[in-house]
Structure 1
Amino acid sequence: MTPIALTIAGSDSGGGAGIQADLKAFSALGVYGASAITAITAQNTQGVTAVQDINLDILGAQITAVLDDLAVNAIKIGMLSSPEIIGVVAKKLNEFKHPIVLDPVMVAKSGDTLLQDSAIDALKSKLLPMATVLTPNLPEAAKLLNATEAATKDETLAQGHALLAMGAQAVFMKGGHASGAICTDYLVTQDGITEFSAPRVDTKNTHGTGCTLSSAIAAELAKGQNLSNAVRNAHQYLQRAILRADELQIGSGHGPVHHFHNVWTS
């Protein structure tokens, strides 16, 4: 069977993040990608200039259409801007029995807000308990917990355990917003903690890194990998995509990572 992954997320007109990044990552990793668009953003490498949420009925119809016909092996959830959108997604996925990767997208690389404050409680109560793995960066983890952003390893792990206690099966705490020459992420599960480290890359072209990582994890899960191997493979894929990002000349702000670094060079 062809492995299939579904992304439920916003559209990035600049192509570096959102469903565009998700579908690129799926394809680069040998997985067929389907999508359900939650919002349309007018966006480029410099920022977000407009956001329009998708009609709730159309959003639900997209998810139903995909799941009724395609044998989806894993789902990645990204930008969900309102409580109403979160409610539709949660209802449509209530019977889904395969892995769900939840990326709590809150702020774009440019600093623009993508998740309404009123939607945070809905995300925590309706979707977080459905997540096979939650993939927050440090600011997102702090916001979900209404806490100060973690500044040390101990604080990061404590917040990971706190999010785990809220219902997710696993939490992948991303260290991209931390400091230091080495970037370390932590996979926190009931069975323990696994560290994933790599040298921090000096580049401004990191637009869509969170979307790409979570969709890469979903792709690996769709191929049948267990969670630990899925995260390891996705982490390695993203690191190579960041290392090769400067080969691309896209826009004048935060450019995208190179999703197809193994296929073509600029």
Structure 2
Amino acid sequence: MKKVLTIAGSDSSGGAGIQADLKTFSALGTFGMSVITAVTAQNTQGVFAVQDISVEVIKKQIDAIFDDIQVDGVKIGMVSQIETIKVIADQLRKYKPQNIVLDPVMVSKSGYHLLNPEAGEVLIKELVPLADIVTPNIPEAEVITGRKINTYEEMEKAAAIIHHMGAKKVLIKGGHIQGDSTDIIFEGETYIYLKTPRIVTKNTHGTGCTLSSAIAANLAKGCSIVEAVTAAKEYITTAIEHSLSIGKGVGPTNHFYTLYKKAGMLEK
């Protein structure tokens, strides 16, 4: 079984962050491990507090994993402090894992800023060049590139800029543009469009975390970038289509829908 590590923040409501990552790894047949960078107080209605884990403990978590277990893929999510970003980058350069997926989490759906501008600059400098693929949504791509994005052509330009920053591959997620859900992969020379019908639901908590984790799991299992992203998009589409109306706000996706269906565990 392939082993995949998530380096990210914890979501107390279980729909995003570390919890979503581990559910995704399990659903896709890989063994999930975690390095927790922050603990959040959040639910389906928003993020209410963040407590960052000390740099020393983050470093020791990473050492504990790599000194003992073969790591076949890494997903990086919420990393909000400059020193946190630097120690993660140092550790990744030390251990040199393959299949690194960077999900540049900057602002929660409720508008809570999870990454200040100075930390964003360090993330671009330190982590983007280490990533096999970077997976920003449009607001995140706008922050990274300093450009407004309203069209597919502008998505392409943003992808090229992020690639120039050092990312080997780039996935710009187009969910914030009206119409079908269209994402664009840039591999350095060609643009690949992935289109799926837009699913009308408010329950999209943790979609970015889940997609990036699915990509990491698929890469760990030997898929190419395009294969990994395509399969991950199919997975998240199903999870959104059968999302869960849990809580009073934006509910989570259904990470185990396909497995529950096969096992005959779904409610009739």
TM-score (norm. length: structure 1)? 0.96
- Residue correspondence of structure 1 range 37-186 to structure 2 within 5 A: 37-95=36-94, 96-148=96-148, 150-180=149-179, 182-186=180-184
Matched, 1:227 2:220: no
Question: Which of residues 194, 197, 209 is equivalent to 1:196?
Answer: 194
The secondary structure found in structure 2 opposite 1:263 is helix
- Show the counterpart of 1:12: 11
Question: Which of residues 181, 185, 188 is equivalent to 1:187?
Answer: 185
Q: 2-side partners of 1:176 and 1:190: how far apart?
A: 22
Q: 2-side partners of 1:70 and 1:234: how far apart?
A: 25
Give 1:254's aligned amino acid: V
Q: 1-side partners of 2:141 and 2:91: how far apart?
A: 25
- Would the aligned equivalents of 1:25 and 1:212 in 2 still touch at CA under 8 Å? yes
Q: 1:146 Cα shift?
A: 1.7
Q: 1-side partners of 2:40 and 2:68: how far apart?
A: 28
- Would the aligned equivalents of 1:109 and 1:208 in 2 still touch at CA under 8 Å? no
Q: 1:249 Cα shift?
A: 3.0
- Would the aligned equivalents of 1:184 and 1:195 in 2 still touch at CA under 8 Å? yes
Deviations 1:153-175 (A, max 9, x none): 11110111011111000000001
Task: Structure 1 unaligned segments of length 5 or more: list them.
Answer: none
Q: 2-side partners of 1:139 and 1:50: how far apart?
A: 22
- Would the aligned equivalents of 1:17 and 1:211 in 2 still touch at CA under 8 Å? yes
- Residue correspondence of structure 1 range 22-37 to structure 2 within 5 A: 22-37=21-36
Q: 1-side partners of 2:24 and 2:109: how far apart?
A: 18
Q: 2-side partners of 1:241 and 1:126: how far apart?
A: 32
- Would the aligned equivalents of 2:59 and 2:91 in 1 still touch at CA under 8 Å? yes
Task: Structure 2 unaligned segments of length 5 or more: list them.
Answer: 261-265
Q: 1-side partners of 2:108 and 2:65: how far apart?
A: 27
Matched, 1:260 2:259: no
Q: 1:97 Cα shift?
A: 3.5
Deviations 1:178-232 (A, max 9, x none): 112x110001011411111111111000000000000000000111111111111
Percent of aligned pairs sharing the same letter: 50
Give 1:99's aligned amino acid: N
Q: 2-side partners of 1:260 and 1:110: how far apart?
A: 25
Question: Which of residues 222, 247, 250 is equivalent to 1:251?
Answer: 247
Q: 2-side partners of 1:244 and 1:210: how far apart?
A: 16
Give 1:136's aligned amino acid: P
Q: 1-side partners of 2:32 and 2:184: how far apart?
A: 27
- Please tell me the root mean square deviation across aligned C-alpha atoms, in Å: 0.9
Matched, 1:241 2:239: yes
Q: 2-side partners of 1:190 and 1:202: how far apart?
A: 33
Q: 1-side partners of 2:99 and 2:217: how far apart?
A: 10
